[in-house]
């Protein structure tokens, strides 16, 4: 016997997902535009935009990727459309963000795998 899906099942999953992404700590201290301090992968600086509504963009040269973000346990969680998660650790009251791009979280964010961003506009409060 197979389970029968109700027509509203996808809507329920979307609402649960949106509610889950909306949970967490205040985004206000981290809203703004950030720029990587060093070029990334020899391709230039990365611009990271974190919006109040939880939307964000990652732009490198002429390529821009969209994501959702939230604050959880003092860290910023970036959720890509493909299901990936990148965790940023803020410092200096949210003025700087450290992203470990090694794929394995490391508390000291090794230089060869770390992107450090500095906020260039916006500001929390």
What distance lies between CA 97 and its chain's CA centroid?
Answer: 10
What distance lies between CA 39 and its chain's CA centroid?
Answer: 19
Could you tell me what percent of the chain has a pLDDT over 70?
70
Structure-model confidence comparison of residues 35 and 99, the more confident one: 35
Question: Rounded to 5 degrees, what are φ and ψ at 32?
Answer: 150, -175
Rounded-to-integer distance, Cα 76 and Cα 24, Å = 10
pLDDT in the model for residue 105: 55
**The tokens of 25 are what?**
């700590």
**The tokens of 105 are what?**
């979280």
Tell me the pLDDT tens digit for each residue of 55-110.
999 999 989 999 999 999 999 999 988 888 888 999 998 999 998 776 655 555 65
Domains and CATH numbers, the chain: 9-121 (2.40.128.640)
């Amino acid at each position: 016997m197979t389970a029968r899906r109700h027509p509203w099942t996808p809507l329920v999953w979307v609402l649960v997902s949106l509610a889950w992404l909306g949970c967490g700590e205040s985004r206000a201290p981290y809203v703004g535009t950030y720029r990587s301090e060093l070029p990334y992968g020899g391709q230039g600086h990365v611009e990271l935009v974190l919006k109040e509504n939880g939307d964000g963009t990652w732009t490198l040269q002429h390529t821009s990727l969209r994501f959702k973000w939230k604050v959880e346990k003092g860290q910023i969680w970036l959720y890509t459309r493909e299901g990936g998660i990148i965790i940023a650790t803020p410092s200096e009251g949210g003025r700087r963000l450290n992203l470990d791009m090694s794929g394995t979280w490391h508390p000291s964010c090794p230089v060869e795998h770390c992107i450090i961003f500095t906020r260039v506009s916006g500001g929390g409060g």
